[in-house]
């Protein structure tokens, strides 16, 4: 049944939009990703980066991270294939939802927000991960990169989400309602900024010290228990 019409002179206020990164924001995915990266370097016969460097692979497209950390450009495709052998075989489920995330998502939905996952992870992996960890039912859409993730940026993923949800880019708050990105890495901040969206940085993820501040995050959240309150404060 169609909703009853609004009285004359009253307009519907668009729902606020919250775009959510996946790795390092909603889930602690480092164990499975790092295992796959280690396997890739071993398969190529290349020195494995140290643990701190391996954690920086979580978030950005791996097609950017491999060449940045010692994989020759002509062997990146080989490294990606080796990584995905392990990741697709089950490594992507060596993962967990951060404590308190489901409750935060439910609180934001109860407050009337539209929620969408926007991740640089290929969508063919992001969707089953969200299904497995029961996140899909808590959001209004899951959007990710194409399998050839080197052809996509975080801004591209956000553009895809905005288009699917019927929003403008740059976001028009008067027409669409307010919007915010929630993420743990600098590419979340930069990708959102390309669409006129601020990014709330979360510190429980994989950013280096000072990374989110330098990128221009509008604020930082240190505890998942404070996430919903921080998001709603920024959407006012």
Separation between Cα atoms, residue 21 and residue 100, nearest integer Å: 16
Residue 10 lies in a domain: no
pTM: 0.87
Separation between Cα atoms, residue 139 and residue 229, nearest integer Å: 17
* Residue 50 contacts residue 212 (beta carbons within 8 Å): no
21 among known catalytic residues: yes
In Å, what is the CA distance from 117 to each residue of 86, 113, 182? 24, 13, 10
Query: pLDDT exceeding 70 applies to what percent of the chain?
Result: 94
* End-to-end CA, the chain: 31
Q: What is the number of structural domains in the chain?
A: 2
Q: What is the pLDDT of residues 9-40, one digit of tens each?
A: 444 557 999 999 999 999 999 999 999 999 99
The DSSP secondary structure of 130-158, one letter per residue, reads HHHTT-GGGSS-EEEE-SSGGG--HHHHH
The boundaries of the domain holding residue 77 are 30-93
138 CB contacts (<8 Å, ≥6 apart)? 102, 105, 106, 109, 115
Q: What is the pLDDT of residues 83-104, one digit of tens each?
A: 999 999 999 999 999 999 999 9
Whether residues 203 and 141 share a domain: the answer is yes
Residue 63 lies in a domain: yes
Please report the sign of the dihedral spanned by the C-alpha atoms of residue 100, residue 117, residue 52, residue 231.
Answer: negative
Two tokens at 100? 């308190």
Residue 3 lies in a domain: no
Q: What element of type H or E holds 218? A: none
Count CA within 13 A, CB hemisphere, residue 9.
Answer: 0
Q: Exactly one of 2, 21, 94, 226 is catalytic; which is it?
A: 21
Query: Domain containing 107 — which CATH number?
Result: 3.40.50.1000
């Amino acid at each position: 049944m169609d909703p009853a019409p609004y009285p004359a002179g009253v307009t519907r206020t668009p729902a606020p939009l919250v775009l959510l990164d996946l790795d390092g924001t909603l889930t602690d995915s480092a164990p499975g990703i790092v295992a796959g990266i280690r396997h890739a370097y071993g398969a190529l016969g290349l020195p494995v980066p140290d643990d701190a460097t391996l954690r920086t692979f979580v978030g950005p497209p791996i097609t950017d991270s491999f060449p940045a950390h010692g994989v020759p450009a002509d062997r990146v495709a080989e490294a990606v294939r080796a990584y995905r052998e392990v990741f697709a075989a089950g490594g992507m489920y060596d993962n967990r939802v951060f404590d308190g995330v489901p409750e935060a998502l439910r609180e934001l939905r109860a407050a009337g927000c539209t929620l969408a996952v926007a991740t640089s992870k290929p969508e063919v992996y992001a969707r089953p991960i969200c299904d497995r960890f029961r996140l899909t039912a808590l959001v209004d859409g899951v959007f990710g990169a194409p399998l050839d993730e080197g052809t996509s940026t975080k801004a591209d993923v956000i553009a895809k989400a905005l288009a699917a949800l019927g929003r403008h880019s740059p976001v028009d708050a008067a027409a669409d309602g307010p919007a915010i990105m929630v993420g743990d890495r600098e590419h979340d901040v930069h990708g959102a900024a390309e669409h006129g969206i601020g990014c709330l940085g979360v510190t429980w993820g994989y950013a280096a010290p000072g990374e989110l501040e330098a990128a221009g995050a509008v604020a930082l959240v240190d505890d998942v228990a404070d996430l919903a309150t921080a998001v709603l404060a920024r959407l006012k």
